[in-house]
Structure 1
Amino acid sequence: MKKLAGLYLVIDPSQAHESLLKKLHSALKGGVDIVQIWDHWPNDQPRGAKLEFIQRAKELTKDFQVPLLMNQDWSLALETGLDGVHFDQLPADFQTIQPRLKDQYIGLTVTNNMEVVQLAEQNSLSYISFCSVFPSPSVQSCDIVQPDSIKNAKEISNMPIFLSGGINQENFGQLKELPFNGIAVISGILNEADPEAAAKKYKAKLQDLDYSD
């Protein structure tokens, strides 16, 4: 499996599905490299509607050869044939689950706790994602990440590092001194009138920073 890097888009299935899928298609045209379905379904969302949405999202990402991951719900990721799962925190029975996710991407949200980074490294996860680099209404449960935490993670781990939380076109330049392989974005793309153009702008900024090092 190739290492993940680049522009990581998180989509929120609590939004109207038709509109969201159109935005996803536009963002993929703009060069998004990875897509994650946030485990944020409406409380009354029928199971059939979930499966239909995932299948349609999967068809779009497949057309662009972009991996599609599920947030937290690893069993749903397996059932629908997705490319992996992103955990906000590892399940208590992860050692039992991990063999079932063989040959799939497994990511983990980390903050300033280096023990969690070490845990991800010990379990040979596919990548880690720091949350939250900047204040963001979509990640209120995350502490603000200290720059030294990201630098320390680079010293103790070979995993790709993603940065997430409140990253936009205006504050992107503040990341230039940090070691990372990609950024995760929600509103910075999906709330824009033209998601394709927004994705292209992020991609250009990533290339300017030579983020893949």
Structure 2
Amino acid sequence: MRNEELNGLYLVVDPSMDHEVLLKKIEESLKGGIEILQIWNHWPDGMSEYDKEQLITYIIEMAGKYGVPVLINDDWELLQNTDLAGVHFDSIPDDIDKIRQKVGRDFIAGITCSNDLEVVKWAEENSFDYVSFCAMYPSPSVGSCEIVRPETVRKAREVTDIPLFLSGGITPEKIDGLEGLEFNGVAVISGILSDDEPKEKARNYNQALIKR
């Protein structure tokens, strides 16, 4: 996938949820039009690597029917035994060249950024596919992340043309408040996963993105 194709609604899912509930919500979210899916590395205590790989494989099969790439959060080693499309790093990894060598195939690479534009510059220099800013607003899913200043996003667009995603407390209604910022999509967790109608909620996000 070329990085200019990375855009739209990006869903981060929590594998610590009841898996029957989680898979149903993922299926409904896919029907609602998500474009990218990331599995957060928030695994249940004691879950084996085999069981992680089995769950990942099932999610990949679900998402594949909709042409949606599935990424893993930080646990890049899981790319070696699964068909994951990529990895999202929460911070700059120690040796990205060694990671790429060990994975042994092309993969989508993204990274979280707060207000430190050095992360954006590093992502540009290391041919990353996207940057996700967190958090734009307070959210129960992002813990104690600092709030990203709009000016940071503006300056990021001046130094790179790679796709930029915004995340953290973003609701469909708050997308209007992001007017004037150049970004390619929004990433959500609880905004969809905590909703009783994830398909409709995903559609609401997409409608808001189209209108902006």
Judge same fold: TM > 0.5, yes or no: yes
Q: 1:101 to 1:7 in 2, by over 3 A?
A: farther
Counterpart for residue 119 of structure 1:
122
Displacement after TM superposition at 1:122 (Å): 0.5
1:171 equivalent in alignment to 2:174? yes
Q: Is the 8 A contact 2:112 2:131 kept in 1?
A: yes
Counterpart amino acid of residue 20 in structure 2: E
The match for 2:188 among 185, 189, 201 is: 185
Task: Output the CA distance in 1 between the equivalents of 2:72 and 2:78.
Answer: 8
SS in structure 2 opposite 1:163? strand
Counterpart amino acid of residue 199 in structure 2: E
For 1:1-213, list aligned pairs within 5 A: 1-2=1-2, 3=4, 4-99=6-101, 100=103, 102-209=105-212
Q: Is the 8 A contact 1:84 1:101 kept in 2?
A: no
Cα-to-partner distance string for 1:112-148 (whole Å, 9 max, x where unaligned)? 1111110011001000000000011211242100000
List structure 1 runs of 4+ shifted beyond 4 angstroms.
none
Displacement after TM superposition at 1:158 (Å): 1.0
Cα-to-partner distance string for 1:40-95 (whole Å, 9 max, x where unaligned)? 00122233321221111011001111000000011112321110000001221222
> Percent identity over the alignment?
47
Task: Output the CA distance in 2 between the equivalents of 1:77 and 1:22.
Answer: 24
Cα-to-partner distance string for 1:155-192 (whole Å, 9 max, x where unaligned)? 00011000000101332211112110000011111111
Q: Is the 8 A contact 2:11 2:34 kept in 1?
A: yes
TM-score normalised by L of structure 2: 0.95
Displacement after TM superposition at 1:101 (Å): 5.9
Task: Output the CA distance in 2 between the equivalents of 1:55 and 1:103.
Answer: 18
Query: 5+ unaligned residues in a row in structure 2: which ranges?
Result: none
Q: 1:33 to 1:101 in 2, by over 3 A?
A: farther
Counterpart amino acid of residue 194 in structure 1: E
Q: Is the 8 A contact 1:10 1:185 kept in 2?
A: yes
Query: 5+ unaligned residues in a row in structure 1: which ranges?
Result: none
TM-score normalised by L of structure 1: 0.94
> For this pair of structures, how many residues does the alignment match?
209
Task: Output the CA distance in 2 between the equivalents of 1:88 and 1:50.
Answer: 19
Task: Output the CA distance in 1 between the equivalents of 2:65 and 2:161.
Answer: 30
Displacement after TM superposition at 1:102 (Å): 4.2
Task: Output the CA distance in 2 between the equivalents of 1:47 and 1:115.
Answer: 34
Stretch deviating more after TM superposition (32-41 or 52-61): 52-61
Q: 1:124 to 1:101 in 2, by over 3 A?
A: farther
Q: Is the 8 A contact 2:53 2:81 kept in 1?
A: no
